[in-house]
Amino acid sequence: MKEIMQGNSAIVRGAWEAGVKVAAAYPGTPSSEILKDVADNYPEVYAEWAPNEMVALQVASGAAIAGARSMAAMKHVGMNVAADALMTLAYTGIKGGLMVVIADDPFVHSSQNEQDSRNWARFAKIPLLEPGDAQECYDFAKISFDISEKFDTPVILRTETRVAHSDSLVEPGKRVESKIPLGLDPKEAPKYVMVPAHVRVRRKIIEERMRKLEEYADTFKYNVMEINDPSVGVITSGVSYMYTKDVFPEWSYLKLGMVWPLPKKMIAEFFKKVKKVIIVEELDPFIETEIKAMGYKIWHGKDLIPNMYELTPEIVEKCLKGKKYKEPKIKVKPEDLPRRPPNLCAGCSHRPLFYALKKLGAFVFGDIGCYTLAVAPPLQALHTCICMGAGGGMAHGAMKALGKEGLGKVVAVLGDSTFLHSGIAPLMNAVYNKGNSTTIVLDNRITGMTGHQEHAGTGFTVRQEPTNMVDYMEIGKALGVKSIRYLDPYNIKECMEIIKEEMSKNVPSLLLCKDSPCMLLRRAKPLEKFKNPLYMINTDKCRGCKVCLEINCPAISWRESAGQTKDGHKRKGTVYINPDQCVGCEVCVQVCKFEAIVPGKK
């Protein structure tokens, strides 16, 4: 019976039915649901959150070399981290099938860049499948293991937001265990030890494999030709097919399930069968460049279809119909409406810390996590965000460039999960190279932004079993950091004093936020430390100075109404604290100069 599934769940279902034994991942939108789904629904599969994508791929490939079908999942930028392993795994090949899921994020709904992961396949010389909905996620995941074993190569399954995060019907089946025996064979060292002499042997095998894969692509059952009206033929793949087919159902299609390598004979046949060819693909002209290089003339491609942001049905229609496209009537200009951007939660420990940094006038080398939201007004207290772990390395570099001028002005911030992902090496580097940067670990006891995934510092595995946990203080000591201190982010005054002191020291410092769990992490009881359940405004005292609005708490709002305080100070309005949202963190109380914020009762 058909079931409705999210693309990510359908991938997992397909992999499970294919007999997957080991799955590893680091969370990243829109791929994060994959590993959780494995852990929650498929006890036969070993699942783990790795500290980063490189380790996840190492784990999956080790399992594959031991004969098990295995998978690693990550978002597009995660592949940058894992690339070092992938590029050489292409040489060694595998034994049990290895699927690498890479989830792209066109239009950067939640990422730091918009790279097109299809390029990895050409770069690494490995096959890439691109599903367009949940049924295809399921089908392609399942078959990826067969391809992987048949051609002795890792296979990339590439999704994107509208595939990973959309739900549609899937016809699931049963699990079939892999027939490949488990075991390691030391005699296979020439295949797995990539020293130059072995590499040169494997290098040839890769080229032979690519030729065989090209032949296979021509017979691949998910490369499908639909000949309808022969006057226009569209070559497309994945969700781009879904959009184009929706808008132009009458045209002919060559829908590619395998985007690398391309099916050359099929493409030749398609060009014979249709009069004019259009290539519709999201992001880079990946298919287009290849088809042009084969010597074909296309009617349209990236001359009309944008090479950035995501495609949508109306973008495809608008681009291909040109002047014939009729724009819907604009009734209200959306740009005139207030936006609803995400914000740090009421009570979040990042808010007072960034307020302190702002008051100190620090230049904040940031990182990737909820705390990146501190860039938004009115906080505006985060000044870079490049890649996981970058803040620490960049702060050190900036301090080296600025010399004594930089003392007291620069700080790096990153989350606990980010610190474990790739923040330790930059800190070690700052110690080794006699730097003087200050690093603050915003420890909220969880991977926050992606929706609460466990990591090596939380004390729990992906299956919620208690486990060993990292002690950040001990890591700092082991790296040789001389100045390590705990920080209570909820105490703004103390934060300012400590951070100022540490930023001014001529040695690297490590500051660890303590007792500051994520507000949504119930098991850590984040509200227990707050003295009062909520606060309210004493309208006798509120002068309407708006200082408390600067912390950007979602519970606090401005109410315009001219009047005066009890002692006669004129005001244009007062603030209001929403009792349903306030959790009693007292950050606004510390900011208010007129003692106008007082304890309330739930």
Partner 1 sequence: MKDNGKVTNIFLSGVGGQGAILASNILGEVFIKAGYDVKKAEVHGMAQRGGDVTTHFRFGKKVYSPLIKYGDVDYLLSFELLEAIRYINWVKPEGKIVINKSEIFPPAVNLGQMEYPKGVEKTFKKYFKENVWMVDGQGIAKKLGNAQAANVVLVGAFSNFFPEVKDAQWIEAIKALLAPKLHDLNVKAFHEGKKAL
Residues that bind partner 1 (CB under 8 A): 2, 4, 29-30, 109-110, 133, 162-163, 165-169, 226, 228, 239, 241-243, 245-247, 249-250, 312-314, 317, 327-332, 334, 337-345, 370, 373, 378, 449, 451, 520, 546, 549, 552, 554, 556-558, 560, 573
Distance of closest approach, residue 483 Cβ to partner 1, in angstroms: 33
Q: How many CB atoms lie within 10 A of CB 230?
A: 12
Token reading at 86: 């992938």
Distance of closest approach, residue 162 Cβ to partner 1, in angstroms: 5
Distance of closest approach, residue 578 Cβ to partner 1, in angstroms: 9
Q: What's the DSSP call for residue 550?
A: G
Distance of closest approach, residue 308 Cβ to partner 1, in angstroms: 17
Is the Cβ of residue 238 or residue 393 nearer to partner 1 in the bound state?
A: 238
Is the Cβ of residue 77 or residue 291 nearer to partner 1 in the bound state?
A: 77
Distance of closest approach, residue 7 Cβ to partner 1, in angstroms: 9
157/146 Cα distance (integer angstroms): 13
Q: Which of 458, 247, 445, 436 is nearest to 348 (CA)?
A: 445
Q: Are 232 and 274 in contact (CB under 8 A)?
A: yes
Is the Cβ of residue 195 or residue 330 nearer to partner 1 in the bound state?
A: 330
Distance of closest approach, residue 317 Cβ to partner 1, in angstroms: 7
Q: Are 23 and 40 in contact (CB under 8 A)?
A: no
Is the Cβ of residue 161 or residue 509 nearer to partner 1 in the bound state?
A: 161
Q: How many CB atoms lie within 10 A of CB 181?
A: 8
Is the Cβ of residue 30 or residue 476 nearer to partner 1 in the bound state?
A: 30
Is the Cβ of residue 151 or residue 355 nearer to partner 1 in the bound state?
A: 355
Q: Which of 54, 298, 87, 352 is nearest to 194 (CA)?
A: 87
Distance of closest approach, residue 478 Cβ to partner 1, in angstroms: 35
Is the Cβ of residue 133 or residue 290 nearer to partner 1 in the bound state?
A: 133
Token reading at 345: 């939660």
Residue type, 494: E
Q: Which of 125, 128, 90 is nearest to 211 (CA)?
A: 125
Q: Please report which helix (H) or strand (E) contains residue 161, including its range.
A: helix 161-164
112/315 Cα distance (integer angstroms): 23
129/158 Cα distance (integer angstroms): 6
Cβ-count burial of 153 within 10 angstroms (0-12 exposed, 13-18 middle, 19+ buried)?
Answer: buried
Distance of closest approach, residue 237 Cβ to partner 1, in angstroms: 14
Is the Cβ of residue 253 or residue 260 nearer to partner 1 in the bound state?
A: 253
Is the Cβ of residue 350 or residue 500 nearer to partner 1 in the bound state?
A: 350
Distance of closest approach, residue 377 Cβ to partner 1, in angstroms: 8
298/289 Cα distance (integer angstroms): 11
Pairing mode of beta strands 276-280, 229-237: parallel
Write down the residue that tokens 């620069």 correspond to.
Answer: 410
Strand partners, 571: 563
441 contacts: CB under 8 Å, gap ≥ 6? 414, 415, 416, 419, 423, 472, 510, 511, 512, 513
Is the Cβ of residue 167 or residue 218 nearer to partner 1 in the bound state?
A: 167
Distance of closest approach, residue 6 Cβ to partner 1, in angstroms: 9
Where helices occur in 48-129 by DSSP H, the ranges are 53-65, 76-92, 118-124
